Structure 1
Amino acid sequence: MLKLHVVLLITAFGTLTIFLSGEFISDYLSLMMYTEINGSDIWIRSAERRNNTCATFQRLSNAIIEIDVKGHSIQLIQNKQDAPKHLNVFVVLHSHVDPGWLYTFEEYYSTSDHSVRKILNNIVNSLRKYPKLRFIWSEMSFLERWWSEANTTYRNYFKSLIDEGHLEISGGYWVMNDEATPYFWEVIENIIVGHQYVQEILNITPTTSWSVDPFGHGLMMPYLTTLAGINQMVIGRINSNIKNVLKQHHQLHFRWAQNWDSQLHWAPLVNVLPNAYYTVTSACGTDETICCQFDVSKTSRSSCMERAKVDNVQKIALYGERMANQYRSLQTFYNSEAVLVAAGDDFLYSHSDDLKIVHRVYSALFKYINRNYDRFNMKVQFGTVADYFKSLKGSAKMRASILGGDFFPYMDNAFSNAPFWTGFYNHRAYFKCFERIIQRELRLVDLLSVTIGNYLNSDMEIARRNLALGIHHDAITGTSKRHVMDDYMLRSRSALHIVLKEQERLLSISNETFTTVFVNNSVKTKGMYLPRITFSFADGIKSYKIQIVNQKTFSTMELVKINVSSPFITVTQNDNLLTIQVVPLLKQSDLFELSFFVPLNPFSRTIVIIQLDNNQSNMTTTSMKSNNFIKKICNPKMVNSNKDENVMLENQFFTVFWNSSTAENYRLVYNDGSMETNFGLYFNRINDYGGAYTMVSAGLSFENITDKNRLSPIIIQGPVYSSITQQLSSQLAYSITIINSTDINAHSIQIDLFTNVTLSPGYTYFMNLNSNINSVDHFYTDVNGMYLIQRRYDKKMKLEANIYPMITETVVEDDKLRCTILGAQSTGVTAKLGLITLMVDREIYNDDGKGLDYYEASESHPSHLRYRIIFEPKTSEMNNFSDLKTVNKNELENKSLPMNMMYHSQLVQQTLEELLYPAALFLSSSINSTDNNELIDLPRLPDNIQLITIRYIARKTILLSMRQLPYDCSVKLYCKSNTDMV
Structure 2
Amino acid sequence: MATPVYTPFVFLLLLFQSRVWGFPVRQTPQESPTCGYKSCHATKPGMLNVHLVPHTHDDVGWLKTVDQYFYGDRNDIQHAGVQYILDSVVDQLLKNPDRRFIYVETAFFYRWWKQQTDDMQNTVKQLVNEGKAREGDEATTHYSAVIDQMTMGLRFLNDTFGHCGRPRVAWHIDPFGHAREHASMFAQARVIRAHSNLNPAPSPPGILPNGYNPPEGFCWDQSCDDPPIRDDPDLEDYNVDDVVTRFLSIAHAQALVYKTNHIIMTMGSDFQYENANLWYKNLDKLIRYVNQNQSNGSGVNVLYSTPSCYLQELHRANLTWPLKGDDFFPYADSDHDFWTGYFTSRPALKRYERISNSYLQTCNQLEVLGGPISRKGPFGAGYSETMKKAVAVAQHHDAVSGTEKQHVANDYARRLANGWAHCQVLVSNTLSSLSGSSAPRVYCEHLNVSVCPLTETSKKFSVNVYNPLARPVSWPVRLPVNGTAYSISDANGKAVDSQVVPVSQATAAVRRGRGYAVNELLFQVQAPPLGYSTYSVSLLQNGPPSPQSSPLSRAPTAVQNFFLSPSFRSYSLLSLCASFVTLRDFLSSLLCVCFPRYNASDGNNSESIQMSGAYIFRPNTSTPFIISKTCIYLHVFQYNSICRRPTKTFKRFIPWFSPWVSQVVRLYTDSRALELEWTVGPVPIGDDLGKEVISRLDSSINSSGVFYTDSNGREVLQRRKDYRPTWNLRQSEPIAGNYYPINSRAYIKDDKDQLTVVTDRSQGGGSIQDGSLEIMLHRRLLYDDVRGVGEPLNETSDIYPEGLVVRGRLLLSLSPPATAADTHRPLAQEVVLQPLITFTDGELHPSTRLEFSGLQAVLPPAVHMLTVSQWDQDSVLLRLEHQYQASESKEPSQPVTVNLQKLFSTLDVLGVSEMNLSANQWKDEMTRLDWKKHLPKRGGDPSVWEVNLKPMEIRTFLLRVRQR
Q: TM-score range by the shorter chain?
A: 0.7 to 0.9
Q: Say if 2:474 is the partner of 1:557.
A: yes
1:480 is aligned to 2:404: yes
SS in structure 2 opposite 1:353? helix
Taking the aligned partners of 1:937 and 1:647, their CA distance within structure 2 comes to 43
Measure, in 1, the Cα distance between the counterparts of 2:576 and 2:553: 21
The question of whether the paired residues in 2 share the 8 Å contact of 1:606 and 1:929 is answered with no
Q: Is the 8 A contact 1:423 1:695 kept in 2?
A: yes
Q: Distance in 2 between matches of 1:423 and 1:736?
A: 27
Q: CA deviation at 1:740?
A: 2.1
Aligned to 2:783: 846
Taking a change above 3 Å as real, the CA distance of residues 809 and 139 of structure 1, as seen in their structure-2 partners, is: same
**1:326: how far off?**
1.3
When residues 922 and 971 of structure 1 are mapped into structure 2, their CA distance, relative to the original with a 3 A threshold, is same
Match of 1:774 among 702, 724, 749: 702
Shift of 1:438: 0.3
For residue 302 of structure 2, the aligned residue among 380, 394, 397 is 380
Structure 2 counterpart of 1:545: 462
Aligned twin of 2:954:
none
Structure 1 position 863 matched with structure 2 position 803: no
Q: Distance in 2 between matches of 1:627 and 1:547?
A: 34
**Alpha-carbon distance change, 343 to 24 in structure 1, aligned in 2, over 3 angstroms:** closer
For the residues of structure 2 that align with 1:808 and 1:512, how far apart are their CA atoms? 35
C-alpha distance in 2, partners of 1:217/1:857? 27
Could you tell me which residue of structure 2 aligns to residue 834 of structure 1? 771
Alpha-carbon distance in 1 for matches of 2:751, 2:810: 24
**Deviation, structure 1 residue 390:** 1.7
Q: Find the counterpart in structure 1 of residue 562 from structure 2.
A: 652
> Aligned match of 2:286 in 354, 362, 384?
362
CA distance in 2, matches of 1:360, 1:392: 25
Deviating more after overlay: 374-383 vs 356-365: 356-365
**CA contact 1:513–1:923 (8 Å) conserved in 2:** yes
1:958 aligns with 2:958: no
In 2 relative to 1, CA 211–531 (structure 1 residues): closer, same or farther, beyond 3 Å? Answer: farther
Query: Per-residue deviation at 1:357?
Result: 3.0
* 2:428–2:441 Cα contact (<8 Å) kept: no
1:229 aligns with 2:190: yes
Q: TM-score, normalised by structure 1?
A: 0.75
Spell out the pairing of 1:118-517 with structure 2 (5 A cutoff): 118-168=84-134, 176-203=135-162, 204-234=165-195, 251-256=198-203, 272-281=206-215, 291-292=216-217, 294-300=218-224, 306-312=227-233, 315-351=239-275, 353-369=277-293, 371-372=294-295, 375-395=297-317, 398-414=319-335, 418-454=336-372, 456=375, 457-508=381-432, 514-515=442-443, 517=444
1:708-747 superposed matches below 5 A: 719-741=648-670, 746-747=671-672
Q: 1:816 to 1:89 in 2, by over 3 A?
A: same
Give SS of 1:507's match. Answer: helix
Distance 1:191 1:977, change over 3 A: closer
Measured in 2, the distance between the counterparts of 1:94 and 1:25 equals: 27
**Structure-to-structure mapping, 1:600-611, within 5 angstroms:** 600-611=527-538
Distance 2:298 2:453 in 1: 76
Going from structure 1 to structure 2, the CA distance change for 1:562 and 1:754 (only over 3 Å counts) comes to same
State the 1:562 CA deviation: 1.1
CA drift of 1:685 comes to: 0.4
SS in 1 for 2:557: strand
Structure 2 residues not aligned, in runs of 5+? 1-20, 30-43, 376-380, 509-514, 602-611, 637-645, 724-730, 797-802, 903-964
Distance 1:152 1:772, change over 3 A: same
SS class of match (1:752)? strand
Mapped to 1, the partners of 2:818 and 2:155 lie a distance apart of 46
Deviation at 1:919, TM superposition (A): 1.9
Hey, what's the Cα distance between the residues in 1 that align with 2:451 and 2:194? 44
CA contact (8 A) 1:946 1:962 kept: yes
Supply the AA of the counterpart residue of 1:823: T
Alpha-carbon distance, 1:757 to partner: 3.6
For residues 489-888 of structure 1, the aligned pairs below 5 Å read 489-508=413-432, 514-515=442-443, 517-518=444-445, 532-536=451-455, 542-573=459-490, 574-586=492-504, 587=508, 591-614=518-541, 647-661=557-571, 662=573, 664-670=576-582, 674-689=586-601, 690-706=612-628, 719-741=648-670, 746-760=671-685, 762-794=690-722, 796-797=731-732, 798-831=734-767, 832-855=769-792, 858-859=795-796, 861-874=804-817
Distance 1:469 1:488 in 2: 8
Q: Kindly provide the amino acid, as one letter, of the partner of residue 923 in structure 1.
A: F
Alignment of 1:83-94 (within 5 A): 86-94=47-55
The one of 818, 829, 832 aligned to 1:916: 832
| SS of residue matched to 1:340 | strand
Q: CA deviation at 1:361?
A: 3.2
How far apart in 1 are the matches of 2:228 and 2:419? 47
User: Is the 2:746–2:758 contact (alpha carbons within 8 Å) kept by the matching residues of 1?
Assistant: yes
Q: Mark the CA change 1:824 to 1:347 in structure 2 (over 3 Å): closer, same or farther.
A: same
Unaligned runs of 5+ in 1: 1-21, 31-82, 169-175, 236-246, 257-269, 282-290, 523-528, 617-621, 631-644, 877-903
Question: Cα offset for 1:403?
Answer: 2.2
TM-score, normalised via structure 2 length: 0.77
Instruction: Deviation per CA, 1:765-803: give whole Å up to 9, x if none.
Output: 110001111001111111111111110112954210000
The aligned residue for residue 914 of structure 2 is: none
Alpha-carbon distance in 2 for matches of 1:548, 1:388:
52
CA-to-aligned-CA distance 1:708-731 (integer Å, 9 cap, x gap): 8x9999x9x971111111231232
Letter in 2 for 1:906: D
> Is the Cα contact below 8 Å between 1:872 and 1:971 reproduced in 2?
no
Separation in 1, partners of 2:673, 2:408: 38
Task: Give the C-alpha shift of residue 869 in structure 1.
Answer: 0.8
Q: Could you tell me how far 1:376 is from its partner in structure 2? A: 2.0
Letter in 1 for 2:327: D
Q: In structure 2, what residue type is equivalent to 1:106?
A: D
Change (3 A) 1:655 1:624: farther
* CA 660–394 in structure 1, closer or farther in 2 if over 3 Å, else same: same
Secondary structure of the residue that 1:706 maps to in structure 2? coil
Q: Secondary structure at the match of 1:401?
A: coil
**How large is the Cα RMSD of the aligned pairs?**
3.4
Deviation at 1:648, TM superposition (A): 3.1
Paired letter, 1:161: L
Report the CA distance between 1:828 and its aligned residue.
Answer: 0.8
Contact 2:795 2:804 in 1 (8 A): no
User: Is 2:870 aligned against 1:944?
Assistant: no
Please tell me the residue identity of whatever aligns with 2:93.
L
Distance apart, 1:402 and its partner CA: 2.0
Q: Residues 672 and 196 (structure 1 numbering): CA distance in 2 closer, same or farther, change over 3 Å? A: farther
Amino acid at match of 1:657: S
Counterpart-to-counterpart distance in 1, 2:148 and 2:742: 20
Give the letter aligned to residue 483 of structure 2.
S
In 1, distance between residues paired with 2:713 and 2:845? 36
The one-letter code matched in structure 2 to 1:868 is: L
Gap change, CA 1:361 and 1:648, over 3 Å in 2: farther
> What is the CA distance between 1:26 and its match in structure 2?
5.2
For 1:252 and 1:782, locate their aligned partners in 2 and report how far apart those are by CA, in whole Å. 25
Output the CA distance in 2 between the equivalents of 1:592 and 1:28. 62
Distance of 1:869 and 1:446 partners within structure 2 = 31
Between Structure 1 and Structure 2, which shows a larger proportion of strand residues? 1
Q: Secondary structure at the match of 2:269?
A: strand
In the alignment, residue 89 of structure 1 is paired with which amino acid?
A: V
Change (3 A) 1:873 1:28: farther
Alpha-carbon distance in structure 2 between the residues aligned to 1:932 and 1:491: 33
Query: Shift of residue 758 of structure 1?
Result: 4.9
Name the amino acid aligned to 1:916: V
